[in-house]
Amino acid sequence: MTEETIDKAAEAAVRLFKSGYSCSEAVLFAFEMNTEKKFSEDAKRGMSAYVEGLSGSGCVCGALAGAVFILSTMGGRLSPEEPVNKLKNAVRILHDDFRKEFSSACCRVITSKSAKLFGIGKFNTCPLTVEFCIRKIMLLASENEWIK
């Protein structure tokens, strides 16, 4: 995985978010555009519920939740016998690094801080969370050999 590919994915994710896609949708579409991984129409539609911390509830950040889903599609299992240690480790790294970067994994907390810090618009931090998540999952998926 080249830095150039990761930069392209990050630019695409932010552009998609700013064009009207939710944070989770932007991460998924940018991942698909910049890797060989393809998602079903159902998976793409499923990203729509992660907006604003699980459909406006303010809970887990949609970019983070979408990123976890994307990693799960590659490292998840289809039977109880299959190991998920690599996936669990990758998701833990993603979550912990996200919390270090944004002080929380909760959309409500992140966006309220954004409103206080930046003044106008509580979603000013969202392009940053989208960019962070796409960069992180591109690296984690590559390191775990789920993508080239």
pLDDT tens readout for residues 43-96: 999 999 988 777 776 789 999 999 999 999 999 999 999 999 999 999 999 999
**Residue 148 within a domain:** no
Longest dimension (CA), the chain: 51
pTM: 0.91
What single DSSP character describes residue 36? S
> Residue 125: pLDDT above 60?
yes
Of residues 95 and 113, more confidently modeled: 95
Full residue range of the structural domain in which residue 89 is found = 3-143
The answer to whether residue 9 sits within a structural domain is yes
Domain assignment present for residue 62? The answer is yes
Output the pLDDT for position 45.
95
Q: What pLDDT does 54 receive?
A: 78
Q: Is residue 20 part of a domain?
A: yes
Lowest mean pLDDT of 30-39, 59-68, 101-110, name the range. Answer: 101-110
What total number of domains does the chain contain?
1
